[in-house]
Chain A
Amino acid sequence: MIDIKKTYKNYVHGKYVRSESGKTYTKELKNEVYELPLTSKKDIRDAVTSSKDGYKKWSSTTPYLRMQILYRLSEMIEGNKESYVELLMDHGLTKQKAIKDIDESIQNIVWFAGLADKWEQLAGNLNPVSEEYFNISHQNPIGVIFSLSGSDVSLNELLMSILPSLTVGCSVISYSEENSVLALKFAEDINNSDFPSGSLNILTGKFENILNDVSKHVEINLVALHKELGNDGLKAIEQNASESVKRIVSKPSIEGLSSILPYLETKTVWHPKGT
């Protein structure tokens, strides 16, 4: 019997798609060799169009429902635990490390699921102004996030580059180089968890190919780099970003409340009190 091998594709707007360029790159694992989509400029533009729509839907989903969808993601991963462990071992991880990675991933999803309907209470507040005004600062998600995942092969690391911004209602374009097979497998669980299409798009390829397109795209509101880039790379991104005052975060904190802060815009509303 001949084995059936899975074809991995980008995950855009709830669909599995090849790069429009038709180009792929090879990822060689211990037991398997994959041809993965080499994302092009046009693919990025399509993903942004999808993410804008995804942002509208996801940010207007109630926190209560966002929590349940995130929790469902943990259920999906729990159910597919063995296949994740197998894939991580095919990347060279020991079984013990692979299991630990998946356990930590599930733990973090559950943590962020529970944060979905609480972060506004932690990050916003009434302001005690000195006149007769009601004054409140609350948060809006910043919009469309492009997130470059880290270079370690780890589902947990991939998740920590996605969850903080996704939890607060941003839509995310997650881009992986080293983590690519894992990321595209993860897309299947996203697809099974009731996320609105476009809320999370998952792409793979060589970041240097699309670095300029991403940092110049005015409809990407923030670029999060979870990977150390060469100084020239970061410089080019930040120079491009300055043309539209785009937010760039490099190696952001993934700890507790500070993990979500870069993805929030604070809005302060005043209203007089009186009779």
Chain B
Amino acid sequence: MIDWQYSESIESPEIVSIKKKYSNYIGGKFVEPKSKKYINTISPSTEELLSKVPLSNEQDINSAVKAGKEGLEVWSKLTPNQRSRYLFKIARLIQERSREFAVLESIDGGKPIKESRDFDLPQVAANFFYFAGWADKLDLSWATKSLKPYGVVGQIIPWNFPLLMLAWKIAPALATGNAVVLKPAETTPLTALLFAEICEQAGLPPGVVNIVTGDGSTGSLIVNHKDINKIAFTGSTQVGKLIQKSLAGRDVGLTLELGGKAANIVYEDAAIDQAVEGVVNGIFFNQGHVCCAGSRLLLQESIHDQFVKKLEKRMQSLRVGNPLDKNTDIGAINSKEQLDKITGLVNEGVEDGGELFQTQCELPGNGFWFRPTLFTNVQPSYSIAREEIFGPVLTTLTFRTPEEAVEIANNTEYGLSAGVWTEKGSKILWTADRLDAGVVWANTFNKFDPSSPFGGYKESGFGREGGRHGLLSYLKASS
């Protein structure tokens, strides 16, 4: 008999050199924070201290916005073709240093190297390439000359796809002729600071991209800065609402990419094995730290038992562990705080009466981990069926008719994404038309491309990122 002993395959962290302490990147220079304060960034898979990054205060944000205004002066005087070339150059440099970024992303954020290497980084480069080509074609994009850049844009991004969210924000902003002040998330600042080196390498004019680190207080300083012309935020609906409120009455543009609670609808005539794969990818990709995760599985009643059985079997084969192991499917939960939130909601789900299934796997001793989790026998009123868990937790609901499936799917204040599984084309189109969601994946899930617009309906925010539509988030229509 063959011994199927597991042998690990660890990506070497040697390629990355993490400094003991980092500086902000303002006006083309790495500058120590005037606040003289720092925050620790740790590896969520080992809890080891990795480095310290600035906790930027008002003076730091003032410098960054001032540098942004100066950068804008230079940037707006370049020809569109020159702006395009800078973006192409950045894209190339990212490709060249791709492995270094991927390893750093996995160390700082906890996501499996398989995903940072094969998904995040290729997408990062692709976003810069895609928007590079728009920079000198804006006049063709929406057939109107009334669209102008905002000016200095404040961008606040989350910790789930740190560098990819940076690319989603910076690439279109620069392509449309804006300058940016970007704040990466508190727990995942390192790849953004490494990206600053790319800006330097590309010879980007000083001040066009400014990167400042910090916590929520730093983000709030950016939002409330008097010289900011637009805010682009990706994060929770709760914080998005606060930002919208802070900007009330001010002539500042805003786009919000907020939370979600996507329904993944599986009809009885779906290709079941493919659907199981898709559902697994839909919720367990990136530890479920995905705003568009397919966190509500809607199963047609007739296939419920068969589907759940297959799903549990497939879940059992997911490998949880060291993010740098190339075999790892599910890495570390990003932070202790997030782990506590997931644990709290799952406990609530059990108390409410949900039936819990968790895979039996060994978890590492240190770090933050959560087993792939499935709830069945869930009522739509349970918190686990309503609130965004942002973790590897799937809840299952059932329906009888397509009308009922759509009603349940839309019965949420969110409207970011949805999935539909059926082999019947007309049913896909019928369902997709009726779902209140910015992205509908039919017989697939969690697919992304820089040319494909992404963003939500309702309380999932407004504005789109990616594609021709994504340009509008950084262009102001003047009448």
A residues sitting closer than 8 Å to B (CB atoms) are: 122, 125, 127-131, 133, 135, 137, 231-232, 234-239, 241-245, 247, 251-258, 261, 265-272
Contacts and interface: CB of A to CB of B under 8 A. Distances in A.
Nearest to B242: A242
A125 B471 CA distance: 14
Interface stretch (B86-94, B343-351, B451-459): B451-459
19 contacts: A127-B449, A127-B453, A130-B126, A133-B444, A135-B451, A137-B468, A238-B248, A238-B249, A239-B245, A241-B244, A242-B242, A245-B237, A253-B477, A255-B144, A256-B144, A266-B464, A270-B440, A270-B447, A270-B452
A267 B76 CA distance: 32
Given A232-B249, A242-B245, A247-B462, A267 B444 contact: no
A237 B413 CA distance: 20
B444 A270 contact: yes
B449 A130 contact: yes
A69 B145 CA distance: 31
B462 A137 contact: no
A131 B249 contact: no
Contacts of A135: 449, 451-452
B467 A251 contact: no
Contact of B451 (A128, A241, A243): A128
Contact of A245 (B142, B146, B461, B479): B461
Interface string B429-457: 00010010111111110010101111101
Nearest to A254: B479
Contacts of A125: 468
A258 B476 CA distance: 10
B143 interface: yes
Interface of B: 126, 142-144, 146-147, 237, 240-242, 244-245, 247-249, 256, 258, 413, 428, 432, 435, 437-444, 447, 449, 451-455, 457-462, 464, 467-469, 472, 477-479
Contacts of A131: 447, 449
Contact of B438 (A241, A243, A258, A267): A267
A251 B251 CA distance: 11
Contacts of A265: 438, 457
B413 to A, nearest CB: 8
A272 B444 contact: yes
A127 B460 CA distance: 22
Contact of A129 (B144, B146, B435, B452): B452
Nearest to B417: A268
Contact of B241 (A232, A242, A261): A242
Contacts, number: 130
A239 B478 CA distance: 24
Contacts of B479: 251-255
Contacts of A272: 443-444
Given A239-B245, A245-B256, A266-B455, A258 B147 contact: yes
A47 B441 CA distance: 35
A242 B258 CA distance: 13
A170 B282 CA distance: 32
B442 A270 contact: yes
B201 to A, nearest CB: 25
A268 B451 contact: no
Contacts of B461: 245
B442 A127 contact: no
A224 B38 CA distance: 44
B437 to A, nearest CB: 7
B438 A231 contact: no
A206 B442 CA distance: 48
Given A131-B449, A234-B248, A242-B242, 7 more contacts: A130-B126, A235-B248, A238-B247, A241-B244, A253-B478, A256-B143, A266-B453
Q: Which 4 A-B pairs have the closest CB atoms?
A: A235-B249, A238-B248, A242-B244, A129-B449
A271 B441 CA distance: 7
B467 A137 contact: yes
Nearest to B439: A268
A269 B442 contact: yes
Highest count of chain B CB atoms <10 Å: which of A243, A253, A271, A272: A271
Chain A CB within 10 Å — which of B244, B460, B464 has the most? B244
B451 A129 contact: yes
Contacts of B413: 244
B143 to A, nearest CB: 6
Nearest to A222: B462
Contacts of B237: 245
Given A257-B143, A258-B477, A265-B457, A133 B241 contact: no
Nearest to B241: A242
Nearest to B123: A130
B454 A268 contact: yes
B441 A270 contact: yes
B439 A270 contact: yes
A266 B469 contact: yes
Contacts of B452: 127, 129, 135, 137, 268, 270
A217 to B, nearest CB: 14
Contacts of B453: 127, 137, 266, 268
A248 B256 CA distance: 13
A131 B439 CA distance: 17
- Most chain A Cβ neighbours within 10 Å, of B143, B240, B449, B460: B449
Nearest to A239: B248
B248 A266 contact: no
Contacts of B469: 137, 266
B433 to A, nearest CB: 8
A131 B448 CA distance: 10
A130 B123 CA distance: 11
A236 B249 CA distance: 7
Contacts of A245: 237, 240-241, 244, 256, 258, 458-462
A125 to B, nearest CB: 6
A243 B447 contact: no
A125 B447 CA distance: 18
A271 B444 contact: yes
